[in-house]
Chains A and B, each alone.
Chain A
Amino acid sequence: METLLIMLLMPLPVFMGRAYDPSPGIFQSKEEARNLECTRLSQAEAHERFPGQVPEPPARGTWAVTDALACTRRFMRSGERPARDEVILSSLRQTVGDITQTASALEAGELTWHVDAFYPEPAVAAKISVAARTELVERGRKVSDRVPVLAAGDIAVLWQLPPKRAYPLACARYFAQGVLTERDVFLGVMIVDARETRLHAGLCVRGEWKWLQ
């Protein structure tokens, strides 16, 4: 009995040293491990970001461990939001940053920007357009909170068309109806296939539609 107890106690120091390892194991399930976002950092960077947990690297270097694995739990556990919404929302800053950067570079004049998002889930669409408007203002653009709206008849027709024709036609109608003028530019952000997780974007300037990505 005692020998068995000692045998069980032997690996204890090793396990105590790895008690906070984020990988799946006896005390952590795979599902929990998948809800972490982890990055490897140098010891200096880890100390800067986690001064309470990671010691300062020694001035003269060391043979011991010199990096850290920093893990943060995701707020939304996997499966809590629909997969596509989760991917789109999790990468919103980066995606919208890329789109607004490209768009700003193409239309650098003193124009008023309007933004709308075309996404099946209205709550996510609202988040996308808010993110794009905020980002454009931060890039120094003049942005309007007003969403250009077409007449009900136009919308009924556009709804039936494939994206290839729907967006250019909508752009032309915006211009024709005076919803957008020569001093306006419209940025549309959308997905065109239910299976994709990367947003596309297009610009409507002077009645002409241009795909950005």
Chain B
Amino acid sequence: MAPVRPAFLSLLLVVLPTAVAAADSTLSDAQQAQLEALRGEIAAQIQLQAYDLLDELVFGWTEQPVFALETPLVLADVSVPVGFGSGMQALIENHFAALIVKNPRTRVALTHCPQCTAVVVHSGARGTIVSRGVDEPEALSTAGTLSGSRHALFLDFEVEGSALVLRARITRLEPTLPILYAKTLSTSTSAPALLRSGDRLKSAAEAHQEYVDALRGRGLYLVPIRIGVRTYATGSAQVKATPFPWLQVGVEGSLSQARSWMGSFSVGFSWAPELHTGWLAQGRVSRLISGSASSLTGPDLYAFVGGSVISIHGQSALAFQDQIPDLDDLLGLLAGREPDATFGAFQLGLELRIKNRIGAGVFLESLPAMGDAPAIGDYLDLGLIQFHSLGVEVSFCF
């Protein structure tokens, strides 16, 4: 089978002039409902990104204020992306007002001017003009409703591909409406949410650095402590292997901060009074299956495969023999002869991790050497491989 020849757009092209037409855009009710749901989901993302852009705008004003002295400012208009409803407008206004209150260094005082945003009718030399107050400051001035506010702020949000763009401008409310200040800010399509708090704003670069530091703070290596129990399926014999408690300590490493692949090595110890002492050495490879990178805030689900060598000393080791314990074995025990069993095992399991600190896992274990052990049965038989043991564990990582 030859690999695809990486070329020739020409060969892939099909002459299909009739198929190139613009697609029909009639939507069924179900599609419409789905679209509405998606729109809601997207609006939530846009709102967060809009907050980010407002934070960045206000941070800019704290660093380089637009006005030399504290100046009253009217929030004249907030326009949302074309295709979006106006529900977002109120949220943006509230967030912006909160930012201004928390950051007096902006030298801006938001003032209330209902006439500025209302439609006014103004008759003058040029005839009768119907417009918003901010677009006809003469009308407001004549009516004496400017109430000291001589500057209007316009915030315009627009979706441009996968970026949200904020265009802010401040206009002086005088007949020529000169624009004193204008700024375009765009969400970087890749930057993580900046998560700045309103009263301690940071620049985008600082916030990015904080994020990188937070990632680095997690480190690539962890020390997991696992506490678990393994149970064994009952075999054909009347003898049953008791559940084994295990305490494991090891080291776990990942190639990148994404933690999409992890490897670990641990040693374990098990003890039950009068029954056994056990040792274990285990290696594991885990793959993140709940996303492409581990989450800083939510749980992560990993699938893992592993291999272990287990050594059991004491009465419990009798269950791992090829034969049913007989009188000789019991006499040997009475004579102080301690049975032991050493065998290999392969695990397949799932682990749920929270912030790479606490985890809970469940796994199936195959003991290839125990195929003939009458005391050990199997939970799952896949023909080529049988799983004899079922385990659960909790982990704490340091």
Contact = CB atoms under 8 A, between A and B. Distances in A.
A54 B190 CA distance: 12
A135 B184 contact: yes
Contacts of B168: 134
Nearest to A81: B83
B149 to A, nearest CB: 15
Given A52-B258, A134-B169, A77 B38 contact: yes
A2 B381 contact: yes
Given A19-B289, A37-B162, A51-B215, A130 B167 contact: yes
B225 to A, nearest CB: 25
A144 B257 contact: no
Interface string B370-398: 00000000000111100000000000000
Contacts of A53: 256-258, 292-293
A106 interface: no
Q: Is the interface of A mostly helix, strand, loop or mixed?
A: mixed
A14 B287 CA distance: 12
B203 interface: no
A93 B176 CA distance: 26
Nearest to A20: B292
B110 interface: no
Nearest to A135: B184
Contact of B81 (A19, A54, A75, A144): A75
A103 to B, nearest CB: 16
Interface in B71-105: 79, 81-83
A145 B79 contact: no
Nearest to A21: B292
Contacts of B42: 75-76
Interface stretch (A66-74, A154-162, A163-171, A185-193): A66-74
A49 B159 contact: no
A97 to B, nearest CB: 10
B92 to A, nearest CB: 15
A45 B244 CA distance: 49
A179 B384 CA distance: 88
Contact of B190 (A49, A75, A127): A49
Nearest to A12: B303
B25 A89 contact: no
A134 B82 contact: no
B77 to A, nearest CB: 10
B164 A93 contact: no
Contact of B82 (A5, A6, A49, A89): A89
A2 B378 CA distance: 15
Contacts, number: 151
A180 B177 CA distance: 14
B160 interface: yes
A90 B161 contact: yes
B264 interface: no
A52 B79 contact: no
A6 B384 contact: yes
A37 B382 contact: no
A18 to B, nearest CB: 11
B161 A2 contact: no
A102 to B, nearest CB: 18
Contacts of A92: 158, 160, 165
B239 interface: no
B46 interface: yes
Interface in A1-33: 1-3, 5-6, 16, 19-20
A206 interface: no
Nearest to A113: B179
B383 A6 contact: yes
Contacts of B190: 49-50, 70, 72
- Ranked nearest first, the 10 interchain pairs of A and B with the lowest CB-CB distance are A2-B383, A55-B256, A137-B182, A72-B162, A145-B177, A49-B190, A20-B292, A53-B293, A134-B182, A75-B159
18 contacts: A6-B384, A51-B215, A74-B159, A75-B45, A77-B35, A79-B25, A92-B160, A93-B184, A123-B82, A124-B82, A130-B169, A138-B183, A142-B178, A143-B178, A144-B177, A144-B178, A145-B177, A146-B177
